Amino acid sequence: MPGFEVFGEEEKKQVLDVLDTGVLFRYEFDAQRKGTYKVLEFEKAFTTYTGAKYAQAVTSGTAALKVALTALGVGAGDHVITQGFTFVATWEAILDIGAVPVFTEIDTTLNMDPVDLEKKITADTKAIIVVHMLGAQARIEQIKAIADAHNIPVIEDTAQSAGGTLHGKHLGTFGACGTFSFDSVKTMTTGEGGMCITNDEQTWRCMSEYHDHGHDHIPNPGGRGGEGRSFVGFNFRMMELQGAIGLAQLAKLDDMIAGQKANKALLKNCAKALSGVSFREILDHEGDTATFFVFMLENAEHAAAVNACLRENGAGAINWGENCWHFYPQWENLLEGKSLCKNGWPFTAGGKRRFYHDPQALPASAELMARTLCYPIPVKMAEADKERLLNALEKASHI
């Protein structure tokens, strides 16, 4: 990752098609655009690639989560369960619709622990967002079975795992909705942008209309319809330039994943020499997108010593226990209820605090994160970078 490593003539060609029309808006202007509808074409290509029936392009992966939650009817006061190891966008989207985020432990997949999920479900739970973190699969089949038993819809946050599969089925197609991010550091990128996919026509219809101020798109997917609005919406429209780049990047996604797999295998083979090392549980290696290489040491102290050596040799790894973007105890704005709203919303309503989160609530995750180190994997790796990383790992193996 990310996809800008392979930008080339394909992306230029797609973008120039748009510029030749002078139309950047995804809808309308039929006479000017000469039949060019890049976002619509991107949506169709994404359904073909993933096997989903419907796709709705949006402005970001964060927007995709909000659009999916709203389309499923989740709103203020509802509880949405997700995991304590994810990017902040997952729970920001929950908060932004007025819902309450509830966090589960993670297990050795570094994704949602189904056992803890079962404990967190209550009558207030209206959705579950399972995240396929760091390019590999959550236990989505088990999680979906639990959710189905409670009649709760599942959203798959697949922001970091586009192109990933489990037993031959694309991630994002197991639940009611799958959401994707195409931001600047994703394997396939449009700079900013996202996608929602679903197999349910009514859910897609709600997403399509909500993301465009409630406009009715029934007469023509390239038009905005007869204005028979069924509900209020907002603006999360993808523009034609993003759709154009997305088409070129999607065509390269499998090759990019293959490059990441080769580079990940190289690092893993070297890291096997580390004392007491273990590796993240991958449920289906064939379907791993290899965006990250994750390894665990015996304890937090051992991980810190190994990482100190790696840093001394110019190859420091990410310690997720210290990371402020992705791990629950480091989300001080959430834990402390910080908001720009003068009335304290969404943490406070009517002068009363709506909910609290205990920083110590996920001890199993904290122990696992403290001894976990990680490298992001590029699509292309220069020989000098390979030599530096492998040399640092070799030296760390003596600790």
Contact yes or no for 309/363 (Cβ under 8 A): no
| Residue linked to tokens 């490593």 | 5
Residue 372 φ/ψ, nearest 5 degrees: -105, 130
Q: How far apart are CA 58 and CA 41, in angstroms?
A: 14
Which amino acid is present at 233? G
Question: Does residue 359 have a cis bond before it (omega within 30 degrees)?
Answer: no
> Shortest CA distance to 303 belongs to which of 291, 290, 320?
320
How do strand 292-296 and strand 100-104 relate by DSSP bridges?
unpaired
Which amino acid is present at 229? R
**Selected catalytic residue, list 66, 126, 144, 186:** 186
Q: Is 186 a known active-site residue?
A: yes
> Shortest CA distance to 198 belongs to which of 250, 155, 247, 149?
155
Contact yes or no for 161/291 (Cβ under 8 A): yes
CA atoms within 13 A on the CB side of 93: 25
> Shortest CA distance to 54 belongs to which of 250, 206, 254, 213?
206
Which amino acid is present at 162? A
> Is residue 142 classed as helix, strand or coil in its secondary structure?
helix
Q: Is 261 left (phi over 0), alpha (psi -120 to 50) or beta?
A: alpha
List the structure tokens of 389: 């990383």
Which residues are designated catalytic? Answer: 186
